[in-house]
Structure 1
Amino acid sequence: MLEFKHVTKRYSGGKPAVNDLNVTIEKGEFVCFIGPSGCGKTTTMKMVNRLHEATNGEILIDGKDIKDQDPVKLRRSIGYVIQQIGLMPHMTVKENIVLVGTLLKWSQEEKEARAKELIHLVDLPEAYLDKYPHELSGGQQQRIGVLRALATNPPLILMDEPFGALDPITRDTLQEEFKKLQKELDKTIIFVTHDMDEALKLADKIVIMKDGEIVQSGSPDEILRSPANQFVEDFIGKDRLIQGQPDVTTVGQVMSGSQVTAQEDESLKDAIGRMREKRVDSLLVVDENNVLKGYIDVEIINSNYKKASLVREVMETNLFTVRQDSLLRDTIHKMLRRGAKYVPVVDEDHRIAGIVTRASLADMVYDTIWGDGLEVEEPIAQSV
């Protein structure tokens, strides 16, 4: 558990950067600090590992005041991820991951085993351990930065806008991966961001700051339903659909259970025949166990029908998916940002559970604004 008790940080006798901060963060909680530039959120985080020293007050980790601990040992016991990643360019990926372990004098066998264990958490092959940072994409480098923070298995991890420099698609993917990791590993996270969508997606608790003080803290739904004042309401933004219909929060509540599919080994001729029969312009591709493998559409078929005969030869495998428990507001933003006409819903084994279309979202918006007086008819096309 992490506690801030009447914590103040003042630089050179001026106005406090953080003023009389009081907040408790429970074990395993994901807490996002958010607010405008200069509000004190990064200063608050850096006081936890004593990169900045508090002027007044107490910061306690599991009941122990951090001022009574050696700052170097304290920092080695806390994971730390920054936006710039900070990988050592002259070190391999493996050496970067176990850097703190090297400082703690781990054996070569311990470092080797830990690096191999961690690289699988983010679905990167072991061969990447021998690469250098410049050989990796920005998203892959950020994954390694996260693994380095996890290397010593710290109970507490600090993250300072770690995904801010990435493109939106890579950022979405890493957010999903890290939230899943956090739940699996039961880590306590302090996450600094300026992006409200990111905070709403990741956080168990959001702490909104202004001028060095906490304006409001609570769960994402609590803040969305009951903003403390006009500042919070403006900072959240009025365009988030959950404010209009707070009882609808997850994908599973709006998804349709019907979708049109094709088998991997099916012929393109049969696939286009099914499109014609069902009046759709795309098909989700599955294997014999209904595991989603990709999709095909009329454009893909039109470009490849002369040089391919089977669905698996031309299907696109890079497909955005969500789970039934995914937040609806987050899914909506992703669909709009990607220009997606629909998104498949999958279970933990990546089997198709349903689909969310723009038409189903239109139903929800219609009911929210005008009630149930009329139905918005679901178009027969899978893509609308």
Structure 2
Amino acid sequence: MLEFKNVTKRYNNEKAAVNKLNLKIEKGEFICFIGPSGCGKTTTMKMVNRLIDVTDGSILFEGKDINQQNPVELRRSIGYVIQQIGLMPHMTIKENIVLVGTLLKWSNERKDERARELLKLVNMPEEFLDKYPHELSGGQQQRIGVLRALASNPPLILMDEPFGALDPITRDSLQEEFKKLQKELNKTIVFVTHDMDEALKLADRVVIMRDGEIVQADTPDEILRNPANEFVEEFLGKERLIQGRPDVTTVGQITGGSPVTVQPRTTLKVAIATMRDKKVDSLLVVDTGNVLQGFIDIEAINLNYKKASYVDEVMETEIFSVTEDSLLRDTVHKILRRGAKYVPVVDDQHRLTGIITRAALANIVYDTIWGDGMEFENTAAEVE
């Protein structure tokens, strides 16, 4: 899909911003470039669609040298998403989504159909098509920015820190949404970020750069297990959980317990009795097929017991859940960020299979930092 051959970028007679870079990116791969400021990651990405020209070497896109292609036509064939989103404020959401289609002289019918089709991909209602960017939240605007990049169905999408300006919760949900979308559509993504957690979560391969050169390009797990050198180790951060426990990588490996559940039409009286008997202050709500519907806690019952009778009348339906193959490192960050006591674990049909608790995480953290305690005891003995 994309190949860099001895690519160098030099401004005037200064030191090379990118130096003899070689990299092959396969169709459908999600590649994240990361590194300290000035390492050349953004320059590398912008050379792909010729926003910046190559000084030496060549970049092949679908087997063709980009320098032999018309830059305007090249850019129209590659999706591009930036942190600032760049929606046109005077255009409706529909007009923003199909902007490239307008430049390509699509018919109105085709533009309408494509805009509606894309909105469905991110579960946004069709009435949004007639709104303007200022009427949308930051997360919604960024979704539209992504859809605009997808509109002409390009095989390659470039993304320059697209989620960097969003709040952590919105950022988490958009990352998950986009990764799922990328897999469904089999798009090749070149993604620039300064956030290592984001790179490890999204990428099939992470490309770590320093001083215009690639230091290491590998899968997230391989980089975490076998960093190429001390720079990579320091850049990753020794506090990352998986560094200490490479044997524990997914939620499924520490999922445990049998969640206490009720069904939607359970009375509040029975729900509170269940909490008392099981010594818990919240219950997960599942249907007859064990599909997770939401949760109810003691506070919701206390606030609503005089005006409601059943669980489904007061339960919270927006609930954060993970699957057994979710990466543990991502789940840890989300649990801590949300201050959650536990997180439900579901299968691909959203059926409840277990829970992951803060207590289970505490055990992992303890083992990571102190192991079996011998290292601490040996250190103490040396001090004495």
> What's the TM-score bracket when you normalise by the shorter of the two chains?
over 0.9
2:239 alignment counterpart: 239
Deviation at 1:372, TM superposition (A): 11
Provide Cα deviations, 1:198-222, integer angstroms capped at 9, x if missing partner: 0000000001111111111111011
CA distance in 1, matches of 2:149, 2:252: 33
The aligned residue for residue 382 of structure 1 is none
Q: CA deviation at 1:307?
A: 2.2
- Cα distance in structure 2, aligned partners of 1:267 and 1:96: 48
User: Relative to structure 1, is the Cα distance of residues 309 and 100 closer, same or farther in structure 2, using a 3 angstrom cutoff?
Assistant: same
After superposition, where does 1:304-343 map in structure 2 within 5 Å?
Answer: 304-343=304-343
Which deviations, in whole Å up to 9, do the C-alpha atoms of 1:208-243 show, x marking residues without a partner? 111111111111011101111111111100111111
Tell me the equivalent position of 2:120: 120
**Corresponding position of 1:99:** 99
The answer for the alignment partner of 2:298 in structure 1 is 298
Match of 1:81 in 2: 81
State the alpha-carbon separation in 2 of the partners of residues 287 and 133 from structure 1. Answer: 38
Matches within 5 A, 1:36-185: 36-185=36-185
Q: Which residue does the alignment assign to 1:262? A: 262
Aligned-partner Cα distance in 2 for 1:10–1:262: 64
Give, in whole Å, the separation in 2 of the partners of 1:173 and 1:135. 20
Amino acid at match of 1:198: E
The answer as to 2:274 corresponding to 1:277 is: no
Look up the match of 1:194: 194
Provide runs of 4+ in structure 1 moved above 4 Å: 366-369
SS in 1 for 2:307: coil
Larger deviation, residues 75-84 vs 12-21: 12-21
Match of 1:370 in 2: 371
Q: Which stretch of the first structure deviates more once superposed, 167-176 or 341-350?
A: 341-350
Counterpart CA distance in 2 for 1:372 and 1:275 is 37
Letter of the 1:297 partner, please give it: D
Normalising by structure 1, report the TM-score: 0.94
Q: What is the number of equivalent residue pairs in this alignment?
A: 373
User: What CA distance in whole angstroms lies between the structure 2 residues aligned with 1:250 and 1:195?
Assistant: 21
CA distance in 2, matches of 1:148, 1:257: 44
Instruction: Tell me the SS of whatever aligns to 1:118.
Output: helix
| 1:367 Cα offset (Å) | 4.8
Assess if the C-alpha contact under 8 Å between 1:257 and 1:353 holds in 2: no
Distance 2:211 2:98 in 1: 38
1:114-142 C-alpha deviation (Å, 9 max, x unpaired) = 11111011011111111111111100000
Q: CA deviation at 1:363?
A: 3.2
Is 1:6–2:6 an aligned residue pair? Answer: yes
Unaligned runs of 5+ in 2: 375-384
CA distances 1:237-279 after superposition (whole Å, capped 9, x unpaired): 0111111111211111111251011111111110010011111
* Partner Cα separation in structure 1 for residue 324 and residue 93 of structure 2: 35
Q: Which amino acid aligns with 2:120?
A: H
Q: Distance in 1 between matches of 2:144 and 2:67?
A: 30
Q: Does 1:208 align with 2:223?
A: no
User: CA separation in 1, counterparts of 2:77 and 2:121?
Assistant: 20
Contact residue 50 and residue 71 of structure 1 kept, 8 A: yes
CA contact (8 A) 1:257 1:355 kept: yes
Q: TM-score with structure 2 length normalisation?
A: 0.94
Distance in 1, matches of 2:300 and 2:236, equals 40
* Alpha-carbon distance between aligned partners in 1 of 2:174 and 2:89, rounded to the nearest angstrom: 22
Distance 2:257 2:347 in 1: 13
* Residue in 2 that maps onto 1:376: none
Q: Could you tell me the percent identity over the aligned residues?
A: 76
* Superposition map of 1:12-31 within 5 A: 12-31=12-31
Query: Secondary structure of the equivalent of 2:16?
Result: coil
247-256 or 301-310, larger mean C-alpha shift: 301-310
> How far is 1:196 from its partner?
0.3
8 Å CA contact retained: 1:263, 1:285: yes
- Pairwise CA distance, 1:349: 2.3
Partner of 1:360: 360
SS of 1:147 mapped into structure 2? helix
Q: What is the deviation of 1:299?
A: 1.7
Q: Which residue of 1 aligns with 2:287?
A: 287
Secondary structure, in 3 states, of the residue corresponding to 1:249? Answer: coil
CA distance in 2, matches of 1:372, 1:295: 38
2:129 corresponds to which letter in structure 1?
A: L
* Mapped contact 1:209–1:216 kept (Cα < 8 A): yes
User: How far off is 1:309 after superposition?
Assistant: 1.7
Q: Which amino acid aligns with 1:110?
A: R
Mapped to 2, the partners of 1:293 and 1:137 lie a distance apart of: 26
Instruction: Give the Cα–Cα distance (whole angstroms) in 2 for the partners of residues 11 and 296 of structure 1.
Output: 60
- Point out the more displaced range, 33-42 or 364-373: 364-373
More displaced stretch, 95-104 vs 283-292: 283-292
1:288, CA displacement in angstroms?
Answer: 2.3
In the other structure, the counterpart of 1:378 is: none
One-letter code aligned to 1:248: V
SS of match in other structure, 1:333: helix
Partners of 2:10 and 2:347 lie apart in 1 by: 49
RMSD: 1.4
Offset, 1:366: 4.3
CA distance, structure 1, for counterparts of residue 158 and residue 343 of structure 2? 32
Distance 2:230 2:371 in 1: 26
Q: Does the residue aligned with 1:115 lie in a helix, a strand or coil?
A: helix
